[in-house]
Structure formats: structure tokens, C-alpha cells
Structure 1
Amino acid sequence: MTTVCMWEVYAGESDMFRVDFRSTHVHYLNNLEEDGKYKWWRNNLNEILVPVFPGQLRQIRKKLFHAVFVLDPATTFGLESIDMIISLYKNSFPVRFGALLFSSKYITYLENHSTKEDRDKFKDDMSDMIIRLFSYIKGNYGIEMAFKFLSNVNKLHIESDDDADDAHLELHRVESAFVETILPKVKSPPQEILLKLKKGPELKELSQESSKTVFKLGLSKIQCSLLMNGLFIDPAEEALLNALNDETQRLQEQVYFGQIKSHTDVLDKLLSEAGIQHYNPQIICDNKPRFISLAMFTFGEASILNGINYLHSPRIIDDLKPVTHLFSVDITLAIGIKLLRQGFNYLIEGSKDARVELKKRTKHIVEIIEEVKWEDVDPDMLTRKFISDIVMYVSSSMSMIERSSESARFEVLSAQHSAIILNNENSSIHIDAVLDPLCPTSQKLSGILRVLWKYIQPNMRIMLNPMSSLVDLPLKNYYRYVVPSMDDFRNTDSSINGPKAFFANMPLSKTLTMNLDVPEPWLVEPVLTVHDLDNIMIENLSDTRTLQAAFELEALVLTGHCSEKDHDPPRGLQLILGTKTSPHLVDTLVMANLGYWKMKVCSSLGSIVLQ
């Protein structure tokens, strides 16, 4: 095989994936709920629903937004990100900032040495040294002083001579930044502390565990990454602002519907619901998964998935497998063997993602497939492996279906006193409608809902939500929705009645107007009526007090624009619409203003030619 990748079989979901970065190795610079810096901010969660000016940030004393930078502190990009964190923090940005530090060289060493004995032979590098010094300062002088140390490293790095030896200067800059940072706080010479930390094993294990955490998250190949509540974004200030606005809208919805309350730990909730343990850009793009349907490989006897022997735990070899892991590697390449080893380690350590996917996605598919009655299938084929394969194929195929995230949640609304509930146990469609019974839009929608109930009979719940104001009383407009149906055709001949609407109990003494609310291109006019439809007063009609009118779609207005090759309008150009039998039905001239043209046409197939 030429492709080296690993994927898991998921079922589709519209929610974005979040990287579950929760760890004791994340160093948070601030705490919006506890720091005195934010004591004047309001702690009412409902403040997030208050409208603000565009670009204005809501200052709420709640840990709603967590921006964690995953960086190598020995790189220029990582140190510049530290300065951005400190700048935003000093400007009271309403975000909890954190940093997860790692050593790129140590992670590269981990990838090439799988045994613990080999890992212990790793020689300290500059990133490891910075992480150890950072941890020492944090433990003894506080987190702000630790971030100041990283900022001092960057300051000395910027001030350094570019022609000097980078490795020597890097070590010199780190040592100078450490001394400069702790000098006002220590009694003994800081050089002695530095020498002790360089020679002693203290904090070495803590530094390596931090790098291992980044390695497991799959973020070590990126110079610097930023996780906004677990969402992977570009580590730039503009991207952070955009992500903050997008995340605000998502949190507003959950606060409004009561899914996030004042005591809710927002980060734990978000990462528990959609968190993944490993970020792989080959699988996840724009915080959404990339899927491939395995069903395309199942047809025919020569399918590559036929006859695969799967690796199982001896305890569950005869059980149904709702989640299947597939590894596609080229074992003739070193990178293929490396990926295969990583995959086995992933399974040996236990796949938390597999348990999440079972609960959220494949569980329901398994329940449905287990109830299927397999007719015309050889009973000897209905093994656990066969059912597991079916679950894998169906899950991967369903994952290809794109689902819109634009949905409203009405389950929190009370339907006890002001709802019309129409149940149909056999329907797979459920419709929720929240209507103000007096507004024109609801009057239009009510007719559409009646048509839907008549023809598809869904489960329907109509909740009435009137406004407190009575400005819409008395009613000024009355609507009926008409749609063609089989009732329009007569049984005795081939004539067509056409769709119709009936209005009853209209006000007698009011002057009414009758017309059709149709799309703008429709030219509709009354063809059968004996009354002036613009001035109808029912009490002045005959004794029956009944009015009838028939309307006809006379024509459609066809519009468009045209231009020359140089994008100038073809002034004076004549367009002719016709058919093969009638080449010239209607014509028009192109206007000099933006090349606009329009013509009145009948509903038939034709073509436009230039004159």
C-alpha cells in the first residue's frame, strides 16, 4: 500500500471534535473566578446573553473560555506566543490562559526508542532545561514569575547578536533570563540554584511527563498550537478573537436552553461530550472528522476486506465488536513499522475514544442491526464476525452523510397548557413549531403545517407563544395556504378544478382586499369575479354574502444580466425568446444600466437568441 494512515470507524455527527488536553501539566496563568484582578467583574452567567456592541467582549467572572498554547519554549514561535499570552492577560482579556510545554527533541527520541531503558538515556536539551527552570520558578515564586521567565528568555533572544553561535547563546540567554527573573526574590546567589538544577535530577521527570502528554495528544509535530476549549485553531491573536466569538455563540445557546448552569464546569462538560484523546490532521480537519466509507470495498469476492483476520483479546474473541480499528500501513517502510507500533501501543494502553464512540455513535447502530431478521441468508454466515463487519460498514457509510448543525432545541419548552400535540407512532418525522398566533408569519405557517399533517402525518407539536403586546389585534390579514392535490382532478372528465382556499366568518363591516401572496416573478391576475377585489364589504353583497374569485398565472417575469468580454454592458442588444415552432415569442432590449434585461414569458421550454 502507498498510503500510510490509521483511522477508526465512526458514525457521523455534526458536532466538532475537541482535543481533551486536561492534565496537571497545563500551566494556567490566571483564574477568572478566584484572582483579585477580576473581582469587579459580574459573576452572573446570564450576562453572556446580554447584547453588546460588535467586537466588545463580555467581562464575566466565570471560567468559560480556556486558551491553552501547546509550545516548545526553545523555539522562536513558542516564545513569541508567550509574549502574546502576557499581553492579552495584562489587557484583561476575558479568557483563562494556559501553556503546555514540551521538548521536540525528546518526543523525537520517544518515537525512535520504545523501551523505558532507552528513554532513560536521553540527554537533556535546551527545551527540557527551560521546562525544568519554569517548573522550579512556578513552584517557588508563583505562576506569573514563571511566565515572566519565559518572556525574559524571548527578550534576550531578540536582543542577541544574530552572528553569534546559536547553541551557545541559547544556553547563555536561558541562564541570564533565569538569574534576572529570580534575583529580586532570592537571598542566595541564583547561580548556585541554577547549577544545582542543571546537575540534579529534580524536575527532570516532570519535564519529560509534560512532553509525553503532548506526544499522546498528537500535537508535537506542530511548532505551536492553540486550543480554545479544546478546539484546534491557529495560534494568532486574530484567530483567537474569531474563535472566541464563535465559541460565545455556542455557549449562549447552551446557557439559554439550561444545559450550562452557574455551577457547571464548562471545560469538563465540553471535553467530556466531544473530547478526543489524540489529534491527527489526517483524520480531523477544521475540528471535524474526515471519513471514508468502507462499504465501497465490500462488493465482490475480490474485496480487500474479505478474509481479514482481526486481532482480538482472548476473552472477547466470540463477542460482537461494535468498534473496529483498521491500520493501513506499508510494512516495507520504516515509517509504516513505526506507525504500526504506535497503533499497537494505542490499543494496549486502552482506547478511550473507542468507548466514547460506542456510547455516542455505534451503540444505536448495533441495537438496530441485532434486531434485523436476516432472510435468505445462510445461518452459518450469521457469525459475530459477520455482524461486526455489518456494523463497521453501516457506521462508516452513515458517517459520510453531512448533517447540518443548524437546529433548535425545543425540549425545554413546556407544552402542558399551550400546545397542540398530534401524535403518529409510525412516523419517523417530528416537527416542533413555536408560533405567535397573531403574527402574519404564523398565519402563513399554520397553513403549511396543515398540509404537512394531511399528506405525511408527522409527529407534530405546535406551541403557542403570544407576545404580551396587543398591537396585532384586531387581525388585519387572513391567510390560507393552497397546494395542488389529487382532489383537483375530476372523476367524470379530464378537467381540473385547481387548488382553492375558503375563508369563513370574515368581518362584515370592514373593507377587505383579496389577492395572492406569490413569488415576485409570478404575474397573477383575477379572471373570474363580479366584484371589485380591492374594495370588498361583505355586508353589501347579496343575501348569500358569499364572494368567489378565480385567479390565473398569466406569465413569469424572466430577468438577468449580460456583459461583453470587457465586462461592459452590451447597450442596445436585443434578446429574443422562442421555440422551434415559434422562433419569436417575445423580445427585449438590454439596458445600459448594468446590462439588466427582463421579459414576460409563459411557462414553456424555449431558448434565447441574440438579434
Structure 2
Amino acid sequence: MGWGPAIAFTLTIQTRSNDVFRTGGLILKVLRTSGMLRRLLCAVLSLWFTFPAVESASKSVIVSLNSKWNSTSLLAEISEFMAKEDEQLFWRFISQTADKCPDRDWSQVSDEMKYETGIEQASKILSPPLLDLLKLSLSLRVYSPTVQLFHQTGADYAMPCAAFFDVHGARGCNVDELEKAMESAHERDPPRLLSIDHVFHLGKEAKTIVIIYGEICTQEWLQLHTKAVELASSQKMQYVLRHHMTPETHKTKVSLSGYGVELAIKSTEYKAVDVSEQKNEENIDEENFHGFNFKQLKKNYIDSSDHIEAFKLHLMESQELGPTKQWQLQDLSFQAAQRIINEGENALEALSQLSQDFPLHARSLSRHVVHQEVRRDIELNRKNHLSDAGLEPGESALYLNGLNLDMDSLDIFQLFNIIRQEELVSTGFFNLGFRRDYLPILTNIDLSEDKNKYAVDYRSAYPMFLNNLDTDVRYKHWRNSVKLLLEPYYPGMIRPIARNLFTLIFVLDPAHEDSRKLLKMAHTLYEHEVPLRIGLLFAVESNEAVNGTNDVGVAILNLLNFLAVDNAYHDALRIVVEPLTLWVVADLDSEHGRQIVYSAIKSLKRSSMTRLGIIMNPSNPTTLCEENSIPSLVNAAMRLLPHTQAKQFITKLVKEQFAKDLHSGAMKWEELAVGGMDVNKFENEKRLLNCEPLKFDGIFVRDVLKLSPGERAFIANGIIVGPFDEQETIIESDVELIARIVDSRGSSIIASQIDKWSADSGSDSPSDLVMQSFALVLKHGVNRKRTFVTLGKYKNSAVTLSAEDNDRAAMNIVAVLDPLSRSAQKLSAILQLLRKSINCDVKIVLNPIPKLSELPLKRFYRYVAVPEIQFDKSGKIIENQARFNNLPPKQLLTLSVHSPDAWMVESVFAEYDLDNIRMEQVSSNIVALFSLEHILLEGHCFDEVSGSPPRGLQFVLGTSSQPSQFDTIVMANLGYFQLKANPGAWLLQLREGKSSEIYTIASHRNTKGDEDNAILVLIDSFSGRTIRVHVSKRKGMEQRSFLPEEGESDGIWNSISKSFIAEKYDVINVFSLASGQLYERFLNIVMVSVVKNTKKPVKFWLLKNYLSPHFKGSLPLLSRKYGFDYALVEYKWPRWLHQQKEKHRVMWGYKILFLDVLFTLDVQSSLWMLIK
């Protein structure tokens, strides 16, 4: 029959005491048999996996997720990647790509050709590591929301052409219209630019702003772009480029990545499917079981009937999920760990297979032997190392270059941004000559924003305190026990305790206009009894010639009888600092410039370990090279004199008393010569110096430091402190404070580590390496504390996978996990993605649970993400999918999509019931399509004065044309609010009515500015945006409460409902939810019953998150037939609330969240309808 070819590619035989047959992932062990039977089994197995009618292998579950917006240009996404790196790279890429545009008709070019063109141009700009990240970003479509934001800004007034311009409101499609619109531009107001707009580097000073909308490389865009570059280069206009795509060329949606899909083994207290016609599963049809006629096989091979029966039993077991006996469960986690360790270099693949399809492997895994050394090393490593990191048995953690990433909220898009930053750090150190030796620096330095950097002892200044919480009568109703600090309280608020535990000092000049705001804030905090001791410290002119008769500030100070500040406290703050290179940027021709240099030099006497450098920043560069000018003399001293002589000589040169005499000619510089200085030799050598290099200091200051001519600043290990105002006087103690701040951020740690390094650093001195390393960490390092996980000698508790390319920088990734956990299912896919995308060392530290009492995983799982975009034969992008093959045919499964926290996803196509999947009951693949309906805008709102959340405050979100598209209320918990959005520029404002009457927006963070009493918020990424808003009560509304106090209402919902003005309820509002076709049928029946049994209008509020596409499509017909109204509502479970795992528990959580917290603002009361 010719079995050979079929067996050759499907079968591997190991000749041991047992024969192991491997076919398509199945491992079948049988006793050694005769050659004839072995050939029979080979043929049977070969047929089984090639037979076209095999049920479990031929049907799959396929899930995909698309964006709601149309596909975006790959070239535009590449340009946005460049812009995130450097705006100059953006325009360089645009210029290079534009040169390639005339080569072909881009309207007919395939996606693959556009991709290859973009990558080709990018490879000329980016380093290999960044090019790899670019490919990953395109696969994840990271910058598609950014491109869509630009498209959306021009969608409201788009012209009927592929590319168009906007000149102060005048729009057109061609070059002639552009020139004509520019002539009258001065008659119209210029447009408001976005913070992420791309402005051409030439023409930025021009008053006319021209915005070009179009798709890169289309002929229409190219014509406008070429003309815009020409006009901007001649300083006639500012050229702003925004992406815009036409629907005709971008009809498809964006195929998304970065989400997980689960098929959970369904557990419910009610039957979810019709079982009336189900057959008896215990009766197996031997004539057609998995494509085999076992009855006929037994007749043909009577002597081998026992082995054929064993094979049939194995097929039967493959349909059952997991062991059922307690003793088989206990060691499963350790058995999985042993299996992964055995795989060595293939450990990630084994981890992925075991965790994501665990229900299929549970029975065979329970027979795996765990070696004693593996068990011992895992337990010792957990005891001696993992416990120090706060990890209990079974817990998971992911460390990227020491950064501990939250496993529960791990977002591939946020992870991508972190990887991009860490790639710059690792590559930077690699270019300095170090490979993996930089990791101790990152883990020892704490750059977290909440770290205390320094403290000031204000006591010696004797501030005037407005209150005393210990003794004032107004605080007597407060408790005064310090034990109250141990009790829980509202997050972000200070518990009222009658003790001076917290002190707030305002340092101000009482006569200065800006001080009024501070004084007003101090008074407000005092009046509202905020539990702070509030003090005022006056800072006025210290010149003795200034008194109360000629200075208002001093007069107020004298009036209040303040004591002079005791300068001795500066000495109390002195600390020993490590070596530090401090650069002073100054204009030595000015008094202010000489003063700052003089103070810096004098500070060296107190801190001999600090080195000082001077960078010239003259207001008038022509004086630099004038003979015997102070800048030229200082330059000569630094280059010609020994260190001690140079310091003494420069000190005299910049001392104002001598500098004035030098300028007036009353003194010659020779009179300032210091001991041991050969004046004649210095004069002769000074004349030979080339002074021209001094002019490059000014260019460096302007282009790199971004300082204006004459401005003063300090540079310490890459940190720029300044520029300082002309009125600011920098004294010695200020310089010392700067040095201490820099040292507190880790300069001494870096210096200590570099001393230990043995890498070849070329010509760089250790001090240069310290400065370069420090600047690198501060510029690109993430402001979070890092942790270095060590393993010691317990090598059998982990698997190490080294980076593939030793000639490139490598990042360090450590994953601590239980191989049979939900975290491992997701993490295994992410680790595989990172291994293929970036050069990294990966260490998998196994942390299994010692004794299990139940199956650890009751779901199948897939995570959708690939390292690079794939194209089909026609050049179109292949859709990303989650595919489940070889599922158990009899098990009841329910499908769920696990998307990032900021995503709101719903199903848009499914022929089968996704809530109740049984593979043996379907005739073909189960295909489900989901859509990303919204990207969330989240926020936290607090009262500016009290710091408490203004619960019940209402926000609306929209655009200038539609200001109230979405609405929500502020929760009492953390002041949280949530609004649906999509990529674009949005306006957030208080809802008209009680909210805007009582409150006004005082300040906000992580936003993009204000516009007409609203907050401008940009949604430009898949991670959404979380903002922080502070509101304050309007004048005259300070005592008015938005909601009644506790005890005056039955709850939050009752409070909100009473805040609306209504005399009677004309509509019955009914809220309900359902999932699965059976319960949706029940819901239909109950809805019709409610309508038929009431005379009042009815409106149904249905949770949209879990409704099937078929049910959502039938609602309009049902509504018209029975005359009821309905609304589909959806919310996302807040990321900071405890997350349920089982689907039905998640749904009940949504019901509580919807009714009690986030219900729509237009509804006054509702009924809850339970469907059972």
C-alpha cells in the first residue's frame, strides 16, 4: 500500500524497552511487539493524523480582533516611531521616503512593498537594535492610534481630495490654492497646534502656519509637501504635517495584537445548553471512532486485539481533561518544572505548550518523575532568594533590567515603551565598552520619583506658625493618639490627628505679587482645618542698606518682628560628597556671570572632592578673543597653569572688585599674578593660543544645552540646573546643595562601580565614564527602583537562555513563575516574542506550588503577538489570530477575550454560541471576530482644598462640535472616573448644571492643555490615558455640598437620583445582562413579558460587553415590534479593583459596578432583572 512516505514524515521510533511513537504532537508508548504489529500501528497512527475526517484535528476555534477605525499607513507609523526617537529623524525619514515616491504609482503598491520601502529607508537611519524594535512596533501596530489621531483632527473638514492643506482656516487641494490662501492668511486667526504636531525645522519663526494633511508618498501629498518645504525653507511659513488617509485606499480595519484569548472549562450552577437530545456518551461507535473502524481492525488482527483496544483507550483518554484522583494532582506543578528544565534551550516552547494547553497534558504530566536535586534546588532558592523579593510559592514576577513589571496589568504596549527606553540604556553602556556589567549600577541607583532626595532643617529660621494642632481649641474634637496612623484611611488624604505630625512651610517675599497665591492657599488650608501645621518663612532682601523705609518686604518683616535667619544651619547640612565634575556656564564679561563662577570656586574650599569646569556663554562672542579680556585670561589659565595656580588666579580674575578695575584699566592683570606664576612665560604662551575654539562653547551652549547667550547654569553629571534669572544670586551653599542633590541620585554609586570594571574603556578617563554613565541613566533610565534577582548556586531551579548576538547590547530578563499558572500562560508567549524581537538574556526561575489540591489551570489560552508583520502572496497583511487546535470534543467551553485594561472590546461576528462551545457539536471551524470599540480615558479627581474626591461630580467628554458624547460620575473610591473614547483630540469638561455651578477645574496633569474652559486630552496610544484633575469650589459655593452627607441618603445611587429635578417617573428603566444563546432567549421572553404587562413606557438597559452579535442585531426588530426603547451600555472593570477570574463572577461584578457607581447620568431610577 506504500506506507513508507506517510510514515517517514509523521513517525519517529525509539528502540528502547518501550517503543515511543511521536506523531503530530502525540506520544504513544506500547510494549515491544512483533515487527508486523509495529508496522500496523505505524500505519494506523499515520492514517489517524492524515485522515481528513478526524473530528478533533479538523475543527479549530479561531479568534481575531480588529480596530474600529480603518487601516493606517505603515509609512506613517514608521515616521511616528522616528518622531518618538527624535523629531529630526522624523523629517529625515520623510525626506528620504519622499525621494522614493516618484519611482512608482503608490496607489497601486501593496502593503508588503510599502513595508519594505519603509524598512529600507529606516535602516539608513536607525541602529540594528532600534530597527528590530521598529519591526516589532509595526507588528503590534503601536503607532496606529497616533496616526489615527492626526487623521481624526482633519476628518471634520476634509476636502474631496487625497491630500489637502489648512491655512488659518482656508483649505484647498493644490499648490495654486495654497499660495493664494497664504496671501490672506494674516486676516485669519492661526490654528492651535497639538503638542505632538510635527513642525518642519525651518520656518518656525514665520507667522503663517500651514497644515498639510495627506498620506506619505501619494502624488497629491508629494506636490503639497514639496511646495511646503520650499516655502518653509525661505521662512515664509511654518510647515506642519499631519497624516490623513482616504477611505478608498484604506477600507480594511487594523488587525490588532497584544491581547489574550481563553477557552475556559465551563463551570456553572445552571445548564447552559439543551441536553435533551444528547446521546449517551458512554456508548462508543466502534465502527467510526476518530475515523477508525476498530471493529474491523480487531477482526483483521485477532492476535493484536489487546493492543488495538489499548490504542482505542488512549484516544478515549485524549478526550478527557486531567486526572481526577487527589494523589495525581499534588505534584503537577513540580512535574511541569522538571519537564521544562529537561528541555534546556527549548524550555520556552515547552513552557508555552504545557501552560497554554495544560488540560490536554495533565494526565501524561502526572506520570513524570521529579528528580530530587531539582526539588531541592527549587525549595532552597525559594527560601534563600525568592522570599527576599517577597515572592511566595506559586507567585510570578517579571524583571526587565531589574524593573519589576506588574504581571496582573502587563500591557504589551507599555512593555514596548519600557523596552525602548531600556534598549537605549543597554546600547549606551555597550558603546561605552561595557556589556552586562552595567546592571549593578541600574539596580543600586534609586531613580524613583517618590524618593526623598534631601531635606532642609527650617527650625533655625524660626518660621511663624499659623496654628498648633497640639494645643489649639479648634482641633480639640480630633483624637490625638499616634496609633491612629496604623488604621486605614482614604487614599491620598491625611488622617485628622491633633498632633503636629505634618508641617507645611511657605517660603515667600510678602511684598511680591506671586506670594499672594501662596498666602491665599495657606489661609484656605487653615480655614478648612486640613491636618497640617502651617508656617510662613519670609525671604526678603538681605542687604544691610535695604530697610523698612525703602523696601515693602523688609517693612512687613520688621512689622512681624521676625528674627534673622541663622546662617549656621548651612554648616549643619554639610555632608561628605564623592568626586563630582561641576561645569559652570556663564558669561565672564557680565557681573552675574563672574559672580556664579566665583561662588563655585569658593565652594571648592569646603568640598575639595568636587572638580570644576567653565563653559563660556558670552552675550557678545566678539569679546572672547580680545587681548587681556577676562574670558581670554581665564581660558589661558585653564590651559597653561597648574591646577592650584589656575584656581587661585581665576578666583582673582572673577572677583568683582578686581574685575571692575581690569575693565576700567585701573589695574593690569599682572598685578593679580599668584605665587609661583611666571608672568612673562604665561604672557608669551597666551599669545600663541588659538582663541577661536572658545567660540564653539557658545555654539554648544545654544544647540546642545538650549541656553540663550549670556544665560547662567550648572551642569553636573549630565544634569542641567538652570538657567538662572538675572536677579538670582548664587552663593557657595547653593553650589554645595546642587552637588549633594546630584550625589543623592547615584553619582557615587556609579563612580564606585566603574572602579571595579575591567572593561577596555579606550581613551576615556574614569571621570568621563562617570559623567557619561550618569547622564545615560538619567536621560533614558526609568524612574523606578530596580531589583536584581540572584540564584546563588541553585542552578537546577532555573533555565538560562543567553542572548543570540554577542556583538550587540543585551537586555536582562528574569521571569519567576509557576509553570502551571495563569501568569505563565501569558508570560510564556511574551517571553517567546521578546526572544525573537530583541537581543536579550532570559532566565526562567521556576517557583512551583508544592502541593496542589485541584487542577491549577482550567482553561486553554493563546496570546496574540508576533515579532514581525507577515504578508500573503498578494502582499496583503495576514490577519493576527488566536487559534486553538485539537480541543477536546466533549468538553463544554466558554470563550473570553482578555484585552489590555484600556480596551473595551465586543464581539461583532460569530456563527456559534461562544459562551457554550462543544467541538463535537459543530460542523466546521468556530470563527469569532471582535472589535476594539473604545480606548478608555480614565482619571482621578480631587478637591484642591480638602484633597477628598468630590463624589458624584459629573464629567462629559466630546469634541468642539459634539461636546457631550460620553458622560460619567466621580466615584468616592480614589476619585475614579472612566470615559469611553477613541484615538483623537478630546475635550473634557464639567457637566452643565450642578457640577459646573459649584465646581470649576483648578488644575490637571497628564493632559495637553486647556481650551474654552475644557481640558484637552489626546488619546494617541493603545494604553489610553489616565489623568489627574483637581477641582475647586466657586466663590460663594465653599459651604455647599454636592451630595448629602452620610446618613441623609440610602447610598450613592439614591443621592445621584435626587440630584436631578423630576416630579414623576414616566419611564420604567430595567437593567439586565445575559451571556450565551440560551440566556439571551430567556431575556427575549422576559422583555416581551414586561412590556405586555405594563402600561408605562419601558426602557431596557442591557450590558453590551457579553451580548452576542446575533442578539444585538435582533434588538432593533424586537424594539419596533413591541414598542420599547433600549440602550446598550458598557464599562470596563477598573484596574485597581480586585479582578475576578471566572466569567460569571466577572459579569456579576459588572452588574454591581453599573448599578451602584457608573450608571448613565440621564436615568433617575431603575429595576434589576435577573435572568435564570
TM-score, reference length from structure 1: 0.37
TM-score, reference length from structure 2: 0.21
Q: Which has the higher contact order (CA 8 A, sep 6+)?
A: 2
